[in-house]
Structure 1
Amino acid sequence: MSKVSFDWNSTADEVLAGIDLEGKRVLITGVSAGLGIETARSLVARGAEVVGTARDVAKAEAATAGVRAVASNGHGRFDIVEMDLAALASVRRCAHELIAAGKSFDLVIANAGVMATPFGRTADGFEMQFGTNHLGHFVLVNRIATLMPPGARLVVLASSSHRLADVDLLDPNFEQKPYSENLAYSQSKTANVLFAVEFDRRHKARGVRATAVHPGTIQTELGRHADPVAMQKKIDALNVMLAAEGKTTIRWKTIPQGAATSVWAGVTASAEEVGGRYCENCHVVEPSMDGGFVNGASPHAFDPETAQALWARSEELVGENF
């Protein structure tokens, strides 16, 4: 693996420079916009065979024309399969089709997600963000875990927003407490980290590792429900506070920069370095109570007992044991 040091500025292409991924297969959820497209393109350009999932296949086909162009130039391969993370019947159907195809995946990137949505429920009755960001991926990844051979990796996209809320295991779907779109998002991102931690614990003995990554603050369709003016005001206010505390402030990344940590953790870094960890700016970030909102990971997202309890609660909610 490369020993080159990457940072906040690095792009996915820079992280993967000189790496040959011919013969490697990758599954990426959410390839109809933003990070999913760029992540797929950067991997296909190095010869990987990438399968992307999308709720709206027609939209994804149009959005990934550039990825197909790269593949048609003799690099890798790119295919799209239909899957709606907010409907477990769709997730299970997709998993069944992938298993039936019988082809292994060297890397699975749980990239898709929703953020700060108005209150709503998935087809199965779960709060939309918890159901989509966590439970949909929980079922998909566990169902296809048999397709991940020794040496394979799982990369789960989390967020620095995980620092703002732990998972409410008693009421994850906001059935008892008032709904907050930001609290719900933060809870789902903590769940993403905890899922990676527990998946890694369960599979590392067979050589399969998992890690959670924060891609950075990026303007993509993920923020479609947020008022851009209000969001910038929040960021400005937070930056004033962070600067006063002598901590790193928030800066917008480009989409190529945002895709860098996903491919760094999935391909470039050593599996031992990132397994069971949380990565930001192409580096592992240690959990700390006094860490910053940027370059920081909260200990509550790494508690092994909480990770196991969330796994059990998730099995209960989706009606499957893994």
Structure 2
Amino acid sequence: MSQTFGATSTTDDVLAGIDLSGKRVLVTGVSAGLGVETARALAAHGAQVVGAVRDLAKAEAATAVVREQAANGGGLDLIELDLASLASVRAAADALVADGRPFDLVIANAGVMATPLGKTADGFETQFGTNHLGHFVFVNRIAGLIAPGGRFVAVASSGHRFSDVDLDDPNFDRTPYTPFEAYGRSKTANVLFAVEFDRRHRDRGVRATALHPGGINTELGRHMGQDALDALVEQINADLATEGKPPFAWKTIPQGAATSVWAGMVASADEVGGRYCENCHVSEVTDGLISPVSEGVRSYALDPDNARALWAKSEEMVGERF
């Protein structure tokens, strides 16, 4: 690459001079935050974006800016997708398969964070069921639509540092529930899904990668009160100080969405395939650092045996083989 990007790069920075006319992209979760900005940036550079959302009315209002700034043939269509319901997931995927038009990029952006203990419509723990299993079924069902040379990008999180997956007790039936351990499990699952998806599809020219967008103050944190959020940032800053690093700083939404479009459309496929990215570059494995916002990825999140085991467990849980 001729240009280096970093933590403060925005979507417009990384897509500067790039014409995406003729490209077709699917992004989940385009009713707020990173999803809207990701769709806006792609459509503004000519891509046809399909936004998959739980609440169509909310998304119609939130994505007005996407349509206003679409250029060079770019545009946006919305479809209904509730990741917490496999019936909804399968219906959305089946409709796309029936339509038959290919995608150059699929970005699994939607998600929930630090929710109270709960269950999806199918009885899965809310965060694992929504963040991982919903996307697992949806993306696998439309995998054949990803064109050779295309990519799958899983928006994970540095929150994967909170916990590895627990394939013996994925629904916290026996384990004491904590919101961030559950979030960590689901985000580790996002990374592992990309690792195994990449292994299974790279021979046909389709690659997959996962990423951390950065700390962005969006709707994702709606289940945390301000006191809890302040306490989390205070703890993060204490950990960073121990590592000799400066205090945590929020990213803007355009900065947060930059790594998604960089990994999906700008970086070389061999550079990012099967890897974990943040701040518009590929991350190194760092098992020793304390802070959940320090750069780097835990080795368990990239472990190929762990990825295969999660895939098998996920198939068992959803009752479907891919």
TM-score range, shorter chain: over 0.9
Q: Which residue number in structure 2 is paired with residue 129 of structure 1?
A: 127
Q: Distance in 2 between matches of 1:138 and 1:241?
A: 33
Measured after TM superposition, the shift of residue 256 of structure 1 is: 0.5
Q: Distance in 2 between matches of 1:115 and 1:164?
A: 12
The residue identity in structure 2 corresponding to 1:100 is A
CA spacing shift, 1:248–1:188, aligned 2, 3 Å = farther
Tell me if the contact between 1:37 and 1:64 (Cα under 8 Å) persists in the aligned partners. Answer: yes
Measured after TM superposition, the shift of residue 248 of structure 1 is: 5.6
The 5-angstrom pairing of residues 1-322 of structure 1 reads: 2-71=1-70, 75-247=73-245, 249-291=247-289, 293=292, 294-322=294-322
Q: Distance in 2 between matches of 1:144 and 1:31?
A: 18
Q: Distance in 2 between matches of 1:197 and 1:228?
A: 35
Q: Distance in 2 between matches of 1:3 and 1:139?
A: 37
- How does the TM-score come out when normalised to structure 1? 0.97
Q: Distance in 2 between matches of 1:237 and 1:115?
A: 18
- How does the TM-score come out when normalised to structure 2? 0.97
Q: Distance in 2 between matches of 1:248 and 1:273?
A: 29
Measured after TM superposition, the shift of residue 249 of structure 1 is: 4.2
Tell me if the contact between 1:26 and 1:48 (Cα under 8 Å) persists in the aligned partners. Answer: yes
Runs of 4+, deviation exceeding 2 Å: 247-250, 290-293
Measured after TM superposition, the shift of residue 74 of structure 1 is: 5.2
The residue identity in structure 2 corresponding to 1:311 is W
Measured after TM superposition, the shift of residue 75 of structure 1 is: 4.1
Q: Distance in 1 between matches of 2:236 and 2:150?
A: 38
The residue identity in structure 1 corresponding to 2:275 is R
Deviations 1:91-127 (A, max 9, x none): 0000000011110000000000000011110000000
Please report the RMSD computed on the Cα atoms of aligned residues, expressed in angstroms.
1.1
Tell me if the contact between 2:287 and 2:298 (Cα under 8 Å) persists in the aligned partners. Answer: yes
Q: Distance in 2 between matches of 1:134 and 1:318?
A: 11
3-state DSSP of counterpart to 1:217 = coil
How many residues align? The count is 320
Deviations 1:104-160 (A, max 9, x none): 000000000000011110000000000000000000000000001110001000000
Q: Unaligned regions of 5+ residues in structure 2, if any?
A: none
Q: Distance in 1 between matches of 2:134 and 2:247?
A: 32
3-state DSSP of counterpart to 2:147 = coil
Identity of aligned residues (%): 65
3-state DSSP of counterpart to 1:253 = coil
Tell me if the contact between 1:248 and 1:295 (Cα under 8 Å) persists in the aligned partners. Answer: no
Q: Distance in 1 between matches of 2:56 and 2:34?
A: 17
CA spacing shift, 1:203–1:74, aligned 2, 3 Å = closer
Q: Unaligned regions of 5+ residues in structure 1, if any?
A: none
